[in-house]
A and B are shown apart, each in its own frame.
Chain A
């Protein structure tokens, strides 16, 4: 099974910009991996932020955006807010088999 990698932890200053990435052990991530991004705050159910690389839901704050960057899927947060402190998870699809990364703990400090 493929391994999906994420940064274990990142820190961003309030108002700052940070990019989280989602890489694949099989090589470059493409739109064919159908990347998704999720936010999970302590004690809460995950929330789906981005689907199919770049698409947002009605509840996704505009400061979040998805892309492909340097052979990885990326989630960029522009203008970080204290409430963005959370765990962020991604998954990639391998011919319909989904594999999650280990998650990134984002600290806003």
Chain B
């Protein structure tokens, strides 16, 4: 059974940083490109970015709203993908999901990040 479990969310002050993690199981993580998607309260989905498998170069692409502030990394030894958030502002308040994409299409349950003073 495929599982994606996010963690690391919480309350952070504007300008602060946070690291989210998504632990995967039930599939070949090292061969899978992983995405992060977020959803602000009452709003639609927004793509944050994607990290390729090491075999495909291991590089990441990012959506315009977060480019330069957020970084995606992976640790295949831990079947984990990370999302490093920095220079946070109130507009970054959202539920953050990891997603497998491709022909897999699995979602984690999400982790809530609240940016507030």
Contact = CB atoms under 8 A, between A and B. Distances in A.
Interface of A: 1, 36, 38, 40, 45-48, 51-52, 55, 57, 87, 89, 91, 96-103
Nearest to A87: B44
Contact of B44 (A45, A57, A103): A103
A91 B37 CA distance: 11
Interface in B12-58: 35, 37, 44-47, 50
Interface in B95-117: 97, 99, 101-103, 105-110
What is the interface residue range for chain B against chain A?
20 to 34
Interface string B74-103: 000000000000000000000001010111
B47 A99 contact: yes
A52 to B, nearest CB: 8
28 contacts: A1-B64, A36-B101, A36-B105, A38-B45, A40-B45, A45-B107, A45-B108, A45-B109, A45-B110, A46-B45, A48-B99, A48-B106, A48-B107, A51-B102, A51-B105, A52-B103, A57-B105, A89-B45, A91-B47, A96-B50, A96-B61, A97-B61, A98-B47, A99-B63, A100-B45, A100-B46, A100-B47, A103-B44
Contacts of B37: 46, 100
Given A97-B47, A99-B47, A102-B44, 10 more contacts: A36-B105, A45-B107, A45-B109, A48-B107, A51-B102, A89-B44, A96-B61, A98-B35, A98-B63, A99-B63
